Each structure stands twice: as structure tokens, then as C-alpha cells.
Amino acid sequence: MRVVGLTGGIASGKSTVVSTIKTLGVPIIDCDLLARLVVEPTHPAYKKLVNHFGTVILQNQEMGQPLDRYKFGTIIFGDAAQRKVANSIIHPAIRDEILKRLFKLWVKGTSLVVIDVPLLLEGELWRIVSKVIVVYCPPEVQLERIQSRDGLSAEDALARINAQRPLIEKVDYADHVIYNTSDLESLKRSTLEVMDALKPNPVWTVLAYIPPFAALLVVWEITRRHLKGDPRKTKPTPKNSSAPAHAS
């Protein structure tokens, strides 16, 4: 089973890419949904968060009540140390949920799965996928789209962009880049081209169900990522932001 990580940025066009992939029948693991799941009262991560931050992060400040997202956000976004603690609890919980779903898909005989991860790089999840797709558009295009879509001022729109890792940095981690710099049809066409290139070889798909070979494949993919290292630490200069209409 080939596992592909998909990421992008605000107003980059990732939602359109996800919708296009769904038309192909490729399973998608939505990490936004998992992020909400792991802070539910029934999940082990919920108790870990409460043990550290206290019931102040809960609605009505009562154990068993849902997370007060506004209050929790105020705490972690205003304090880097607290944010680091929260991420150390939430990111592993999301990773475990991803692995559970991957195992179920593998058992079903799925040959290709896409993990939709906004924080694919920040959460180090790029190290456990076979391929990385980044949906890219220039910052000025992001700014224009956010203002048009959300009715925000240039200052507010820019603040949202700056709150995320720059898309040009994410490109350095990509095996495939979908450049969203043209119209909607071009974006869909580029997505289909990339997905066609990612189709696993049928022979390898069959071999992946032989236990010893499957274990070797997993070990190889993880080792390959680690040996490759962090591109932002090994590349001396960032890539040029100019790009063709699409590439794979």
C-alpha cells in the first residue's frame, strides 16, 4: 500500500485537490477530523491535556465536558512553551489514529491512500509517508484569495498567512508539487496527472501482502526518509518561487 501525504496552506487550493482525488475513489484520511477526535472526552489524549492544563480548558470547567476551543487556543497560541506541550500530546495521538486507519485499509487490500495533513511537516508526519504532495500558490495569490473569500482586510489576511509555515518552504519536502497558479480546471488536471504518476505497481501491491516483504517495505520507507534528512536543514538556499502552471 502506497501512503501519500498531502499538504498545502490557507487558500492554496488543497480542498479542490482533495475533492478531485475523491472522484478517483482513493481513500483519504482527514487529519482535521482526527484532530477533533483526539480531544473528545472519550479519547486518552483528552485526559492528558486536562492533567497538564487543568479543567480551565473545558466547557463549564468540568471534567467530562468538551474542550473549550477558544480558551484552549488562547492559552497555547499565547505561550510557545504551552503550545509545545499541547503538540507533544495531540500530534502523537493523531499519528496513532492515522496508523490505525492505515492498518484497516491495508487489511482491506487498499493499494493507495492519501493522508490530508495541514501540519504534515510541523508534526513530522512526512517521515512516515512514501510520497509528499504540496499544493502551492504564491503568497500574493493567497492574499488575494483570502480577502476575496473571507472579506478580510489585507492586514488580517496577511496575519493568517504568516501564522502558517511559508508554502515555499513546504515545496522543499515535496516529491510532487501541484502549482495552483491558473484556473480551476488546470488545478484539477494537474491533480489527476500527479495521482496517475503515484499509482503503485500491481506486482509491488501483491508483494506487500506477504508479511516479511511488507515489513521490509515499511522499514525501508521510514529509513529512506530519515536518511534523506530534513530538506530545510540540508539545502543551503530556498527554491525559487517561480514555477510552471503544473508539475509532478
pLDDT at 246: 40
- For domain 1-27+110-248, the CATH class is alpha beta
Stretches where the chain sits below pLDDT 70 are: 123, 204-205, 207-222, 224-248
Crossing angle (nearest 10°) for helices 184-197 and 14-22: 60
Name residues whose C-beta falls within 8 Å of residue 117's C-beta, 6 or more positions apart in sequence: 5, 6, 7, 31, 123, 125
Q: Which three cell numbers stand for residue 84?
A: 509545545
- All CATH 3.40.50.300 domain ranges of the chain, comma separated, are 1-27+110-248
Buried b (16+ CB within 10 A) or exposed e, 165-174: bebbebbbbb
The pLDDT tens digits for 112-156 are 999 999 888 876 788 888 899 999 999 999 999 889 988 888 888
